Chain A
Amino acid sequence: MRKIPTSLDQLANRQRAVISGFLAAHGGLTQKLREIGFAEGDEVEILHRGLIGGSPLSVRLNRCIIALRKTEASQIQVVCVS
C-alpha cells in the first residue's frame, strides 16, 4: 500500500503517524505549531477527542501531549506508520 499523506485530524485514535509537512495557507499558524514543537519527522497520535464534534484533540507529540482544535490539526500533514 502506498503511503498517502493525510491531515492529522483525519487519523483514527491511537493511529501512529509521522509529520510530513504543513499546509502553507496559514503562515502564522504554521509558525505557532512549529514553535510549540510540531516538526517534520516527529511521531504523532491522537489520544482523545472532545465530546462536541470531536474537537478539541489531545495529541501525543514525541513525549508531550498537546491539545488543539480540529481546524489547527487539519493544517498538519501526516503519513501513517504501521
Chain B
Amino acid sequence: MTIRIALVGAPNTGKTTLFNALTGGRGKTGNYPGVTVEKRTGIYTSNSGETYELIDLPGVYGLSGRSSDERVSLQHLRGEIDGERQPDMMLAVLDASRLQTHLHSILQFQQIGLPMVLILNMMDMAERDGLEIDLVSLEKQLGFPVVGVTAPRKNGRQALEDNWDNLVKTTKKPTQDKQLDLPALQSQARKITKSVIKQSSASHDLTQNIDRVTMHPVFGPFLLMGIMFFIFQAVYTWSAIPMDMIEAGVRFLQAGAKQLQPEWLASLLGDGIIAGVGSIMVFLPQIVILFAFILLLEASGYMARAAFLVDGLMSKIGLNGRALIPLLSSFACAIPGIMAARSIESERDRLTTIMIAPLMTCSARLPVYALIIGAFIPSQSVGLFNLQGLVLFTLYMTGILFAVLVAFVLRRTVTKGPAQHLLLELPGYMVPKMVDFWIALFSRAWAFVRKAGTIIFATSVILWGLTRYPQTGGGIRDSYAGTIGSWIEPIFRPIGFSLETVIALVPGMAAREVVVAAMGTVYAIQGTEQQVELGLAALLQSAWSLPSALAFLAWYVFAPQCFATLATVRRETNSWNWTLFLAGYLFVLAWVAAFATFQISTRVLG
C-alpha cells in the first residue's frame, strides 16, 4: 500500500509551495495566511523511484480547530473522515524565521500520535535575516528528524529529497507519555528555541521599514486607495493597443466568414460564432492585466496589510478584517472567495461574508463594464485621470459600498451576534517568484480562453439559432429568442432594457461575461452589414440611449445571475434558504438600482 504523508503546519509556512515542488502540482500559493482551504493530494516519486501519496492541508495553529478549514485538516490528520485512511506520517512544516513563535504548535501536532518529520522551510529567508539555527541540537532535543529546506529551489530541497526513503522508513511513532497542556508546551518550546537559535541581527528590518509606509495610519489607507485606482487606470490604458489588434482580427475573420456559401453557414460563423466568441476575446488583455496585479499583491505580502488597514472600517459594520481576504479574492471570482470564507471562525461572520462576496466586482463583469464604458463614456481627461477609468473605479466602489450596507443590515438582523476577534499574522514581504507568477497568470488567462471556446461558443451557437429562426421576416421579435424574451420583457421595460438586451441577459446566467458575447450575436444578426463591420460598441451606440447604458451598468454592479456562484453558495452554506435569499436580494437591488439610474438620468439628460 502506498504510504500516505500529510503536510501540516501553521498557515503561510509554504506547505503548498513544497507540495507543488514535490508532486508537480499546481495548487494556488500566496504570501498570506489561509490561501489553502481545501485538501489536495498528489504523488511524489522519490529519487529511488518509490511512490508516496502526499496530502496538502489548510494551515492550523493548534489542535482546537476553530474555523471550518482548520477542522477539516484536523479530521484528516486523526483519520476521522469517512472513506479516507489516516495518514501514515506527518511532514510538519515550519517557517524557520518563526521557529521561536510556532514551535509549540509542532509539539501539539505530535500529540496526534503519528510519526513526524519537521521541515524548517524558508531557510534562505532566515539566513538573510541573520538567523542561525543549530539543526543537530534541535533534532536531538525534539527526538524526531529535522530537515532544513528552501522549498521552491531544487537544491534547497536536496537535504529532504536525498534522504526521503530513509526518513520515511526510520521515523517512529512518538512515545505517548503524558499529554502536556498548551502553556507547558509553550514553555518547553521556548526553552528549546533559546538553546538552538543564534541571532545576530534585528528581526525583519526590511519588512518593518516597508510597513512604516504601508501601515502608516494616514498614508497607508491613501496608498491602498492609490494602488486600487492605479490598477483600474492600468486596466484601461495598457490594454488599448492589444485590444485594438484583437478587435481588428475578429472583424477580419467576420468579413471573411460573410463571403462563405451557403448564406446560413456565413451567418452561423460570422453572426453566431465569431461575433459571440470574438466579442469576449477582445477583453483578454484587460483580464490579464487585472489578474497580474491581483497575483502580485497576493505574492508580495501586501494583501494581509490591506486587511489590517480596512479592519477599522470592517469592525464598524460588524465584520472582521479576516473577511477581507475572501472578499478580495472575490474581485477575481466570487467562487474561490466564497470558499476562502471557510477560514473565518464565526459561522455568522462566514455567512455574512458569503452573502456580500458577489457584490465585489468579479473579473467576469469587467468585459461587460468595459464594453459599455468604451461605447458610451468619452475617453477624456479629468484632471490627472481618464474619465473611463474613473467610471470603472466608481462602479467597483459602488459594489463595495453596497457590500458594506448589506453587511451592516445583516449583522443587525439575521446574522446578529457578538463582535468577533481578529488575529492575523502579517507575513514578511517577499519579491514574487516570477516562475510562479507566470504559471498562475497563464492558467487564469487560459481558463478565460477555454471558457470562450466552450460555454461561450455553445451559447453563441444556440442563441444564433434561436435569434435567427423562424425566419418570418418580422425581425428579432418574431424569433424564438424574441418570444422568450418578450415574456420577461415587461419586468425590464421600466429600467430601460430593450428586447435585445433582455435576450442577451438570459444566456448571461451561465456566466456573467456571456452577456457580452450574446449581445455580439444578437446585434450581429440584427444589424446591417456596415454596422456589424464597425463592431459591437458602435452597434450599441446606435441602438441604446445613454440612460439605458447607465442603467445596464447599474444592473451589473449587482448582477444576480450567475449559476456557478449560486451553486457554490448552496454547497458552502448547505442551505437553499440562504441561496435563494442571496439571489433574491441581489435581484431586487439590481432592479432598483437600474430603475433609479434610468429614471433619474432620463430626466436629467432629457
Contact = CB atoms under 8 A, between A and B. Distances in A.
Interface of A: 29, 31-37, 39-42, 47-53, 55-56, 58, 60-69, 71-72
B110 interface: no
A31 B182 contact: yes
Given A39-B187, A50-B311, A50-B312, A65 B100 contact: no
Contact of B426 (A37, A67, A69): A67
Contacts of B363: none
B321 interface: yes
Given A55-B312, A55-B315, A63-B98, A71 B419 contact: yes
A69 B421 contact: yes
A51 B218 contact: yes
User: 9 tightest A-B contacts by CB?
Assistant: A52-B312, A35-B62, A37-B101, A63-B203, A39-B186, A35-B61, A48-B215, A65-B426, A50-B312
Interface in B395-446: 419, 421-426, 428
A56 B101 contact: no
B183 A34 contact: yes
B501 to A, nearest CB: 42
Contacts of B132: none
A13 B578 CA distance: 44
B105 interface: yes
B422 A72 contact: yes
Given A34-B182, A62-B100, A67-B426, A72 B421 contact: yes
A33 to B, nearest CB: 7
A64 B419 CA distance: 25
B51 interface: no
- Please tell me the size bucket of the interface on B: 35 or more
A64 B10 CA distance: 13
A67 B102 contact: no
Nearest to B64: A31
B97 A66 contact: no
B241 to A, nearest CB: 40
Contacts of B182: 31, 34-35
A50 B320 CA distance: 14
B422 A67 contact: yes
A60 B181 CA distance: 25
Interface in B62-80: 62, 64, 66
A62 B316 CA distance: 30
> Of A32, A35, A42, A62, which is in contact with the most chain B CB atoms at under 10 Å from its CB?
A35
A41 to B, nearest CB: 6
A76 to B, nearest CB: 11
B309 interface: yes
Nearest to A50: B312
Given A31-B64, A40-B183, A47-B215, A58 B426 contact: yes
A50 B217 CA distance: 6
A40 B190 CA distance: 10
Nearest to B215: A48
Given A50-B308, A63-B131, A63-B204, 9 more contacts: A32-B64, A32-B423, A34-B182, A35-B62, A36-B61, A37-B61, A50-B217, A51-B218, A64-B101
B421 A29 contact: yes
Contacts of A33: 423
Interface in B534-554: none
B129 A63 contact: yes
Given A31-B182, A35-B105, A56-B312, A66 B425 contact: yes
B313 interface: yes
Contact of A69 (B217, B313, B315): B315
Contacts of B53: none
Contact of A48 (B105, B187, B216, B313): B216
Given A32-B66, A48-B216, A50-B308, A63 B426 contact: no
> Of A50, A63, A69, A72, which is in contact with the most chain B CB atoms at under 10 Å from its CB?
A63
B221 interface: yes
Nearest to B101: A37
Contacts of A49: 217
A53 B426 CA distance: 20
A32 B421 contact: yes
Interface in B420-479: 421-426, 428
A42 to B, nearest CB: 8
Contacts of A29: 421
Interface string B85-114: 000000000000110111011000000000
Given A39-B186, A50-B312, A51-B217, A69 B211 contact: no
B303 interface: no
B250 to A, nearest CB: 47
B366 interface: no
A79 to B, nearest CB: 17
Interface in B154-187: 182-183, 186-187
A67 to B, nearest CB: 4
B207 interface: yes
30 contacts: A31-B182, A33-B423, A34-B182, A36-B423, A36-B425, A37-B98, A39-B183, A40-B187, A48-B215, A48-B216, A52-B313, A52-B316, A55-B312, A56-B308, A56-B311, A56-B321, A60-B208, A62-B98, A63-B98, A63-B129, A63-B131, A63-B203, A64-B425, A65-B207, A65-B208, A66-B425, A67-B308, A67-B311, A68-B421, A69-B315
